[in-house]
């Protein structure tokens, strides 16, 4: 919980992620309210200074939940498991760590309604039904083996979300999704189908014209707008490392020198700005 808590959000009796906190939730028959945040995250700061600083919300949380705060850079494993698609994330959990519901940033008035609804369900005993439903769904998950049909199903999904105007996937906000890009690059390398090449090039060039830092090198985290032109200026180690792979692979596939220049400049940025000279380790992010 090393990221700085802003506003009056410190009045919430935050716990660290620990066995003790979940045991307390069981003993007191309360749900866990998990907050995922990062020091670089603008909307995390906003939620701290507004929603989590509201006195009524502070009292509702302290009286009815076991609040846990997690720094997503320190515990990426927890972030990956409970992230609701962005930061900040809030999630209501059982004492066994099962998710009941959650979301991302919400303003104070809306969050009060969410808290009161969860509290009311808990008093009625309906939470037990939700927990049972959660456990039931989890038990229905079956292991599967990847096959060619699944691969082409993924292709169809990516095509359906592809932004033909600006590249990337979805409308806005626009995130890089390097895993999707690497998948498409692998498909292009195997099949040589030009449709894959069109999607890759459109996206890589779109990012270069928007979220790429032409001065220092490296990529900003995302763009507020679909054209990549309105970036949030924090830079993430994980995003840049994965995009380094994307642009390296596409340079290998295309031979276009401009992609090599991006790779070199991004690698230099990571070594110069995010690498600790004393330890040789890398920082997880650079704030906006």
Query: In whole angstroms, how far apart are CA 154 and each of 70, 151, 160, 161?
Result: 32, 5, 10, 11
Average pLDDT value over all residues in the chain = 90
Q: Which two tokens stand for residue 264?
A: 């070199």
Average pLDDT over residues 93-98: 92
Chain CA centroid to CA 19, Å: 24
Tell me, what's the pLDDT at 24? Answer: 95
Statement: the pTM of the whole predicted model exceeds 0.85: no
If we measure between CA atoms, which residue out of 59, 120, 122, 115 comes closest to residue 94? 122
Q: Return the exposure string of 7-36: e unless at least 16 CB atoms fall within 10 Å of the residue's CB, then b.
A: bebebbebbebeeebbeebeeeebbbbbbb
Q: Rounded CA gap, 151 and 153, in Å?
A: 5
Q: What is the CATH number of domain 9-139?
A: 3.40.30.10
Contacts with 163 (C-beta within 8 Å, 6 or more apart), sequence order: 169, 170, 171, 174, 226
Q: Is the pLDDT of residue 137 over 80?
A: no
Count CB atoms within 10 A of the CB of residue 172: 16
Tell me, what's the pLDDT at 144? Answer: 60
Question: Residues 101-119: pLDDT tens digits?
Answer: 899 999 999 999 999 999 9
Contacts with 159 (C-beta within 8 Å, 6 or more apart), sequence order: 199
Domain edges within the chain: 9-139, 148-286
Question: Residues 167-209: pLDDT tens digits?
Answer: 999 998 999 999 999 999 999 999 999 999 999 999 999 999 9
Question: Residues 45-57: pLDDT tens digits?
Answer: 999 999 999 999 9
148-286 shares the fold of 9-139:
no
**Size of the chain in residues:** 288
Tell me, what's the pLDDT at 145? Answer: 66
Check whether the bond before 75 is cis (ω within 30° of 0).
no
Specify the fold of 148-286. Glycosyltransferase (1.50.10)
Q: Is the pLDDT of residue 37 over 80?
A: yes
Chain CA centroid to CA 185, Å: 23
Question: Residues 202-256: pLDDT tens digits?
Answer: 999 999 999 999 999 999 999 999 999 999 999 999 999 999 999 999 999 999 9
Q: Rounded CA gap, 228 and 231, in Å?
A: 7
């Amino acid at each position: 919980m090393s990221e700085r808590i802003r506003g009056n959000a410190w009045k919430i009796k935050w716990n660290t992620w620990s066995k003790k906190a979940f045991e307390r939730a069981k003993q007191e028959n309360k749900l866990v309210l998990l907050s995922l945040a990062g020091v670089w995250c603008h909307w995390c700061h906003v939620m701290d200074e507004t929603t989590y600083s509201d006195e009524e919300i502070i009292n509702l949380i302290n009286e009815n939940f076991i609040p846990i705060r997690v720094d997503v850079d320190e515990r990426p494993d927890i972030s990956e498991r409970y992230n609701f698609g962005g930061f900040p994330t809030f999630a209501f959990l059982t004492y066994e760590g099962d998710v009941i519901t959650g979301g991302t940033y919400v303003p104070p008035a809306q969050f009060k309604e969410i808290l009161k609804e969860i509290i009311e369900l808990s008093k009625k005993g309906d939470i037990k039904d939700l927990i049972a439903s959660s456990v039931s769904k989890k038990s229905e998950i079956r292991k599967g083996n990847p096959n060619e049909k699944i691969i082409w199903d993924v292709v169809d999904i990516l095509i359906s979300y592809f932004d033909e105007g600006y590249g990337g996937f979805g409308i806005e906000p626009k995130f890089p999704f390097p895993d999707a890009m690497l998948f498409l690059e692998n498909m292009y390398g195997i099949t040589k189908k030009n449709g894959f090449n069109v999607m890759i090039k459109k996206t890589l060039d779109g990012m270069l014209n928007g979220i790429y830092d032409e001065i220092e090198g490296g990529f900003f985290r995302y763009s507020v707008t679909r054209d990549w032109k309105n970036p949030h200026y924090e830079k993430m180690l994980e995003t840049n490392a994965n995009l380094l792979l994307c642009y390296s692979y596409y340079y290998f596939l295309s031979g276009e020198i401009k992609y090599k220049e991006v790779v070199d400049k991004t690698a230099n940025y990571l070594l110069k700005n995010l690498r600790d000279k004393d330890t040789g380790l890398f920082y997880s992010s650079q704030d906006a």
